[in-house]
Copies of this chain bind each other. A is one copy, B any other.
Amino acid sequence: MNVEHGETIEIPTKGFSDVIDISREVERVVGMSGISEGTVCVTCIGSTASVTTLEYEPALVLDLQELLEGIASADMRSRHSETWGDDNGFSHLRAALMGPGITIPVSEGRPILGTWQQVVVVDHDNRPRSRKVRIQVSGE
């Protein structure tokens, strides 16, 4: 019989596609839920951040930031930035492309991930922020 367990955590970020490993928090919330089989949905609240999985190591973090810079540069002109003056059009575009969150299956009380696969928040905004991340566990 399925039940729900959700928690909202808050993390400090530096922006410009800063990558934060939240795997331990996801594992902790799944453990707290008492749910053995099911799913965990992780989203970062807001329209300028994403959640994905990554082998969390410093070289790859820089590679990812460079890739995103190539797709939508922090220096790009955007109608959004010109209209609203907040200079973060690139942040919105990166976030829309990568999506706001992911869902990972849970088995034996743990998210099913590879050894070198971490759950990461990517904050694309153009300034340091405190970000709210929702971790929602569903299952039995």
Contacts and interface: CB of A to CB of B under 8 A. Distances in A.
Interface of A: 1-4, 6, 8, 37-39, 41, 43, 45-47, 52-55, 57, 59-60, 62-64, 67, 71-72, 78-80, 82-84, 89, 92-93, 95-107, 112-114, 116-118, 134, 136, 138-140
Taking the full assembly, how many copies of this chain does it contain?
3
Contacts of A79: 59-60, 62-63
A58 to B, nearest CB: 8
6 closest A-B pairs (Cβ-Cβ)? A59-B79, A2-B2, A105-B136, A46-B114, A47-B117, A59-B83
16 contacts: A4-B38, A39-B103, A43-B104, A43-B112, A45-B112, A46-B117, A52-B100, A57-B83, A59-B83, A60-B79, A60-B93, A63-B92, A63-B93, A64-B92, A67-B71, A100-B102
